[in-house]
Amino acid sequence: MTNGHDLAPNKLDQIDHLILSLLHDNGRISYTDIGKEVGISRVAVQMRINAMIENGIIEKFTAVINPEKIGKTVSAFFNIDVEPKHLEEVAKLLADNAAVGSLYHMTGPSKLHMHGLFADNQEMELFLTDKLYAIEGVVSVDCQILIKRYKSRMGMKL
């Protein structure tokens, strides 16, 4: 129990799901407006949201930025084969790079899947040659450039 509201993942009630849906659509919506939408008080909304934060259900609030509007016009996905003994080191180096938007350890012997944003193809090429290929333990890199985005996961819609 947190704030009097049991929040085990399988114990989220319909109001919790509605709150999460409203926050997903607009992370800046007020507690008052959420309360009006779901039929509970502002204080009850605040308690539920705080409990979801404390329980790790809500990880963080953030702004979704359009990369093209800030000059990042090349969106590329990389599949990176890494020697197993270097996997964690390679992942840390890549995770610390500003061009890397997401990084995942995938199934397979030791594969990383990465998404990067770049101003242009030249910036991406410099990243490949000066950063990625230079990392000890990187065996091979497969790169695909995004042509068109149809849907992108921004948080999780319930």
| 131 part of a folded domain | yes
Q: Which position has the higher pLDDT, 146 or 158? A: 146
Same domain, 81 and 34: no
CA distance 32 to 6: 22
User: What mean pLDDT comes out for the span 86-98?
Assistant: 96
Amino acid at 145: I
- Note whether residue 152 is domain-resident: no
- CA torsion, points 135, 140, 145, 150, in degrees to nearest 10? -100
Which amino acid is residue 50, in one-letter code? N
In sign, the C-alpha dihedral spanning 130, 89, 111, 75 is negative
CATH number for position 110: 3.30.70.920
Q: Is it the case that residue 74 has pLDDT exceeding 80?
A: yes
Over residues 60-69, mean pLDDT: 86
| 139/78 same-domain check | yes
Which stretches of 1-154 are assigned E, i.e. beta strand?
74-82, 100-106, 111-118, 138-145
| Cα separation, 126 vs 124, whole angstroms | 5
Q: Are residues 84 and 126 in the same domain?
A: yes
| 50 and 99 belong to one structural domain | no
Are 103 and 139 within one domain? yes
pLDDT at 54 over 90: yes
Residues 6+ apart with CB under 8 A from 123: 74, 99
Of 13, 8, 18, 12, the closest CA to residue 157 belongs to 18
Whether the per-residue pLDDT at 59 is higher than 60: the answer is: yes
Lowest mean pLDDT among 26-30, 45-49, 65-69, 79-83: 65-69
pLDDT of residue 9: 55
Does residue 3 have a pLDDT over 50?
Answer: no
- Give residue 33's domain range: 9-54
pLDDT for 63 equals: 84
Give the domain CATH number at 28.
1.10.10.10
Encoded tokens for 116: 């990067």
**Tokens 């390679």 label which residue?**
90
* Assigned domain for 127 exists: yes
Does the pLDDT value for residue 155 go beyond 80?
no
